[in-house]
Structure 1
Amino acid sequence: MNNILLICPDAPEKLIALTPALSILKRNFPRAKISVISPQPWFFKNNSAVFSSIPLPRFHKLRRLLKEEKYDLLILTKPSFKYALAAFLAGVKKRIMPHNFYTSFLADTPVRTEAGQSAEKFFISLLKPLFVYLFPAERKIFVDKREEEQAAEILKQAELEAKDKFICIFPGAKRAHLNCGKEFYAKLNDKIALKHKNLKILLLTNGKEDIHTANEIFWRCIKKPAIIREVLDLDVLSAVIAYSQGVIGGCSLPAHIAAALGKKSIVFAPLKAEDFLDIPPASAIIKPKPQPCEGNCLKTCRACCLKSITLAQTYEVFDKIFTLKNSPKKGIFNEERTFSLFNN
């Protein structure tokens, strides 16, 4: 294998989860040129496993690219008829794709995957037909100097210095029942500000809807945090998180970025989170107390199980993770690093 291409028409969270599979692929084929086509090619910038990262092209341009570059292997990470057809028409010899009714007949090697597995394990399972040596690999993204400078300027506008110790709180969620309430985040901000005067807090936003939520939390806070009231490019958002001590929030993109940058994080996850969310590797995952659940988190949940998470529970986790005053009690963390005070 000398020329390998991965096509990843996925969400940013999935692209970050792909980086361990890239490390495994590069270790098994050290002389191969590994290229990645994705809607967010910057995620693979400065990654030593990636030879080149290319923006997602249209059908005819992709077909021409595949023909010109003469790839030995193509891995399609998400079922897509048009990308599978482009690879077939371009004559790529080895084509690995997830098993799907519309794409399997165009694949040289369709792969059946387990239902409910995480994105990271799903991508690694696509490598198994290559008979590669599998080993534990971590998620990685890289931030360059230009993005660091942009992030430092944005922090300055929010009345923060890059050298300051601060924690990012990301309260944004497309559905309110997938995250804790605005009043909860406001009280958490005030408690941290009261107990740790040398630690500042930054309210992050990642979309227009999130700005409104962050503004409401800001005005509910007694001790006003720093706030970014603009939608940041994902590369600049990553640079901002790289300056921070870590992230507190729901199972969203900032938590995935924090994990890939090696930052600490506290993630709030609903009871049925494993069924529909790709939970990032976090320092602590706080789940609500077990209770009767309708299991309709993807739509609208009337139970809103995350409301049962209290400020005292969250602050106890925060104190252990970010201030390192006390070592965690025996039995609180299991091998998946999932925290539950209710089992304490």
Structure 2
Amino acid sequence: MTAPRLSIHDRMVELADTTRCRLLAALERQELTVGELAMALQLPQSTVSRHLKILADQAWIASRAEGASRWYRRNPLLDADMLGLWELVRGAMADTPAALQDAARVEAVLASRRTVTQTFFATASAEWDALRADLFGVRADLTAAFALLSPDLVVGDLGCGTGSLTAALAPHVQHVHALDASPAMLESARVRLAAFDNVSVAEGALEALPLYHGVLDVAVLMLVLHHVADPVRALREVHRVLRPGGRVLIADMRPHAHERYREQMGHVWLGFSEPTLHEWLHEAGFVQPRYVPLPVDPQASGPALFSCTAVAMPRPVMVLS
């Protein structure tokens, strides 16, 4: 059985107490704790708690726990009778000296919250990057930014290595094809990516991708193109597996003189200049290339990097005469 609906007379009795009306007014536009309400209304916490319980029991207010605190606000789902009655009561008390003083003190409470935050940042700005990295990881900001991607995207992480980028992309897109030419790398990738049901892991070289034509919306080549013997052939293959209008993202090294990388790490190319990459992309069927030098990480010992995006032109239709 559902509880009987209270009459408007019962509701009027609930709001007959001035303290409860003041509490409702304070909680109408923001959440406040018992301590903040006591400070704003200049009442003992015991009094505030007693009236909050009455208001909560009758569904005038809602609350939520956060850590050791409980936050209160006016119930956003008041029924029509309650909302109409509150509009009348609030209108009658809005311009009274007590209501104006309460509103001013609530603003002071909110200002004190902002002051605490501002004081922290005024003293912590020099250490903020290190503190945030310690709390949330070095690039939590970039990981969160993947949420800007459309959830309908099918992405190819081409040259996925051990799967770190795929793991960052997978929660935000429809599917990720994680491909690499190294069986050893793929073993690590499969372990890392086992929890994702929208990831396919497969062996495949950039010059011969094991994917159907036009299956990808986005193709990512993250620090892999410098290992490829024939970049133009690889880019043509990337173009093949992208839908018309799909995008490629290449992140790699800017031109450098570290010859030792060829023997130490199997690099074929010592970075890529903007004109060279633009020429190769055009030859492979891409348009609108955008080459952006990336900020240098002072902690990194390797060459400076760039990112480059381009759009796959529709494939020409062969007409037989």
Q: TM-score, normalized by length of structure 2?
A: 0.29
The structure in which a higher percent of residues are helix is 2
**Greater relative contact order, per chain length (Cα 8 Å cut-off, separation 6+):** 1
Name which one, 1 or 2, has greater alpha-carbon Rg: 2
